[in-house]
Amino acid sequence: MRALINKFFAQLGVWGWTALVLIPFFFIMLFGTKDTSDIYGRPLNLVYKPQWSNFSSAWNVGGVNGAIGHWFINTGILVTTALFVSLVIAVPAAYFTIFLPPKANRRVMVTVLSGTVVPTILLVIPYFKAYNQYHMLNKPIFAGLAYGVLAIPTTFLLMNRFFLDFPREVLEAGLLDGLSNSKIFRKLVLPLSVGQIVSVGILTLIWAWGDSQIAIVLLQSQESQPISVGMLSFAADFTTNLGATFAGLTMAAIPPVILYIILSKYVTKGIALGGITK
C-alpha cells in the first residue's frame, strides 16, 4: 500500500512538472492566433476567430520573405556543430578519465569544474577579438564551435558520472575477448550509452538553440543570425502586433520540442540504464 502511495505521488509530481512546462507553451501558441486587442482584453478566452495571418507576418519579419526559415538553417548549422564538438571531445575524455590514477583524475576534474563556473558574459569580448582577428565572424559554423567548446565541461561531468557507474562486467568481458580499450569503448560502451549521450546532447541542443549572449556578438549580420538573435528583431517590428510576436515564438519553439519527442525513447533508455548501473 505504501509503495502504491509513493508511486502515486511520484507520478503526480511528474505530471505537475510537465504541466508547468507545457502551460506557458500553450499560452504562447494561443496568443499567436489572437490579435493584440484580444490578448490584452480577453487573454484566456478560448472562443475566438483565429488570426492565422500572424504566422505569415512573423515568417516575413522585417519585410524579408522566409526570414525565420533562414534563421532556422543558421541555427541548425550552429547547433549541429556545437553537438559534434562537445560530444566528440567530451564523451571519450569522460570515459578514459575514469582509468586515470586518483591524483591525475582529481586534477582533471578540478580543471573541468573551473570551466563550469566562468560566466559566459565574461567570454564575449575575448571571443569577439579572436573571431574578428581570424575573420570568423558572421559564420554560424564557427559560432557553433564556440558553443561546443563551452558545452564540453558540462558534457564531460555528466558523462563521467555515468561511466563511473558503468557495469564493470561489460568491460571485463571485452578484455577477455581480446579487445583493446579503444575497441571496448567503440563496440561495447558507446552502443550502451546512446541514451545517456542523447540526454546530455539535448541539454546542449536546448542551450545552444536559445542562447543569444555569444551569438549576438559573433553573428551580427542578418544573413548569419540564428533564431535566438533573429527573434530579438520582433520587438522592433511588431510593437503593435503582439499576435505576430507570439506566432514567431511558437515557430521558434516547435523544432526543439519535436526533436525532444522523437528522441525521448533514448532519454528513457538512458535513465533506465543509469538506474541499473548504480
The ranges assigned to domains in the chain are 69-229+255-277
Is a pLDDT exceeding 90 seen at residue 260?
A: no
CB proximity list for 276: less than 8 A, separation 6 or greater: 167
Taking the alpha carbons of 78, 228, 230, 120 in that order, is the dihedral positive or negative? negative
Instruction: Give CA–CA dist 271/196, Å, rounded.
Output: 7
Reported CATH class of domain 69-229+255-277: mainly alpha
Cβ atoms of 30 and 23 closer than 8 Å: no
pLDDT tens sequence across 39-85: 888 888 888 888 888 888 888 775 566 678 889 999 999 999 999 99
Whole-prediction pTM: 0.84
Taking every pair of C-alpha atoms in the chain, what is the biggest distance, in angstroms?
72
Instruction: Give CA–CA dist 180/143, Å, rounded.
Output: 36
How buried is 53 (Cβ within 10 angstroms: 0-12 exposed, 13-18 middle, 19+ buried)? middle
Is a pLDDT exceeding 50 seen at residue 274?
A: no
pLDDT tier for residue 174 given thresholds of 50, 70 and 90: confident
pLDDT tier for residue 266 given thresholds of 50, 70 and 90: low
Is a pLDDT exceeding 50 seen at residue 100?
A: yes
For residue 196, give Cα distances in angstroms to 43, 120, 193, 218, 265.
40, 25, 5, 31, 11
